[in-house]
Amino acid sequence: MKLKFTKMHGAGNDFVVIDAVNQQVTFTPEQWKALADRRFGVGADQMLVVEKPQSDGVDFRYRIYNADGGEVEQCGNGARAFVRFVTDKGLTDKRAIKVETMSGVIEPRLEADGRITVDMGAPILDAVRVPFDANGLQARAEHEDMLWPLEINGKTIWISAVSMGNPHAVQVVADADAAPVGIDGPVIENHPRFPARVNAGFMQVVDRHAVKLRVFERGAGETLACGTGACAAVVAGIRRGLLDSPVTVATRGGELSIAWDGGAAPVLLTGPAVTVFEGEIDI
Ligand SMILES: N[C@H](CCC[C@H](N)C(=O)O)C(=O)O
């Protein structure tokens, strides 16, 4: 079939965005993987599929597929690209849009300055719901947080387990640029204590309102930015007593801003969303 798509990115985390309101899209994981391939396909970290809503009181549904073809629960940078897409395509004239995802309804908003703020909902900190198997592990309390030991490549790392609808393992490192993201990232991603696998965050604290972050993403490898990863890292940093809201997150692809008042308060993610080109592909 001929598939129309829009290539977009949010701080360098890049997407193939598809209007499934006006075209029928039912692909296999192999087809999603082929679309994401940077040599034989269009190339992207994730594919975002915009559909009519299934629930009342919601404007759209959007589905997220990783480069490995697997469907996942949430994508923070993708939520911003979604807003830019439906606005620019004239699929809505709203500026605050209710969109349902696999992990629930979120409400991204197009700001007057063109940036987009997404209410990502409250973080999930109960290990079982991340999901993280903590059985038999001895946690280390730090401020409000619980740090868990993981055996990785012959060493023990201490991680915060946080879900933003999707699972994250966040560790603090002295130097994000020097962190062994390519070596430890895949081992963390596939660690048996994360039954749904996990996104691995490497956070360097710059000051109480700024961090540098690299994320080895589940199903995509290291990306230039990870929106839910930035949310999870800031939540972990605030709970560890290392950060105060709001926090500027410097990623390799650009800056994100995260605000969180703690507890059951929502995490607010603000950042850019850019359309790169329109395309069509036979798939
Ligand atoms: N790799 C993630 C999905 C994309 C998240 C990321 N691109 C973001 O901006 O939040 C996962 O498997 O949970």
Query: Does one domain contain both 135 and 244?
Result: yes
DSSP state of 234: H
Q: What is the pLDDT of residue 283?
A: 86
Query: Does one domain contain both 104 and 131?
Result: no
Rounded Cα gap, residues 230 and 226, in angstroms: 6
Neighbour tally for 203: CB within 10 Å = 28
Query: Does one domain contain both 95 and 150?
Result: no
Phi/psi of residue 147, nearest 5 degrees: -100, 135
- Mean pLDDT rounded to a whole number for the chain: 97
Query: Does one domain contain both 204 and 81?
Result: no
Query: Does one domain contain both 148 and 188?
Result: yes
**SS3 assignment, position 141:** strand
CA of 228 to the centre of ligand 1 (A): 6
CA of 163 to the centre of ligand 1 (A): 11
Q: What is the pLDDT of residue 24?
A: 86
Task: Match 């692809």 to its residue by tokens.
Answer: 253
Query: Does one domain contain both 218 and 256?
Result: yes
- Pocket (CB within 6 angstroms of ligand 1): 13, 45-46, 66, 72, 75-78, 166, 199, 217-220, 223, 226-229
With a CB cutoff of 8 Å and minimum separation 6, the contacts of 99 are 53, 58, 59, 60, 61, 62, 79, 82, 105, 106, 107, 108
Q: What is the pLDDT of residues 71-80, one digit of tens each?
A: 999 999 999 9
* N-term to C-term CA, the chain: 5
Rounded Cα gap, residues 131 and 142, in angstroms: 21
With a CB cutoff of 8 Å and minimum separation 6, the contacts of 146 are 127, 139, 140, 160
By annotation, the residues acting in catalysis are 75, 226
CA of 209 to the centre of ligand 1 (A): 23
pTM: 0.97
Query: Does one domain contain both 115 and 140?
Result: no
Residue 275 scores a pLDDT above 90: yes
Q: What is the mean pLDDT of residues 58-84?
A: 97
Mutate which of 124, 194, 213, 217 for ligand 1? The one with the most ligand atoms within 8 Å of its CB, which is 217
3-state SS, one letter per residue, for 61-99: EEEEEECCCCEECCCHHHHHHHHHHHHHCCCCCCCECCE
Q: What is the pLDDT of residues 93-139, one digit of tens each?
A: 999 999 999 999 999 999 988 889 999 999 999 999 999 999 999 99
Query: Does one domain contain both 135 and 236?
Result: yes
The alpha-helical segments, DSSP class H, found in 190-251 are: 227-239
Ligand 1 atom nearest 166 alpha carbon: 13
Asked if residue 261 lies in contact with residue 70, where contact means CB atoms within 8 angstroms, the answer is no
| Residue 65 lies in domain | 2-121+273-282
Q: What is the pLDDT of residue 257?
A: 98
Residue 204 scores a pLDDT above 90: yes
Query: Does one domain contain both 213 and 250?
Result: yes
DSSP string, 11-65: TTEEEEEEE-SSS-----HHHHHHHH-TTTS---SEEEEEE--SSTT-SEEEEEE
Radius of gyration of the chain (CA): 18
User: What tokens appear for 172 in the block?
Assistant: 């603090």
Q: What is the pLDDT of residues 216-266, one digit of tens each?
A: 999 999 999 999 999 999 999 999 999 999 999 999 999 999 999 999 999
Residue 38 scores a pLDDT above 90: yes
Query: Does one domain contain both 241 and 172?
Result: yes
Rounded Cα gap, residues 156 and 233, in angstroms: 19
Residue 1 scores a pLDDT above 90: no
The number of folded domains in the chain is 2
Does 70 count as an annotated binding residue?
no
Mutate which of 166, 213, 224 for ligand 1? The one with the most ligand atoms within 8 Å of its CB, which is 166
CA of 188 to the centre of ligand 1 (A): 15
To the nearest whole percent, how much of the chain has pLDDT over 90?
Answer: 96
CATH number at residue 18: 3.10.310.10
Does 77 count as an annotated binding residue?
yes
Q: What is the pLDDT of residue 101?
A: 95
Q: What is the pLDDT of residues 129-176, one digit of tens each?
A: 999 999 999 999 999 999 999 999 999 999 999 999 999 999 999 999
Mutate which of 17, 47, 226 for ligand 1? The one with the most ligand atoms within 8 Å of its CB, which is 226
Query: Does one domain contain both 241 and 176?
Result: yes
Rounded Cα gap, residues 87 and 93, in angstroms: 7
Q: Which of 144, 129, 165 is nearest to 266 (CA)?
A: 165
Query: Does one domain contain both 199 and 221?
Result: yes
Q: Which of 177, 198, 186 is nearest to 251 (CA)?
A: 177
* Closest C-alpha residue for ligand 1 atom 13: 166
Q: What is the pLDDT of residue 113?
A: 87
**SS3 assignment, position 150:** strand
Q: What is the mean pLDDT of residues 78-90?
A: 96
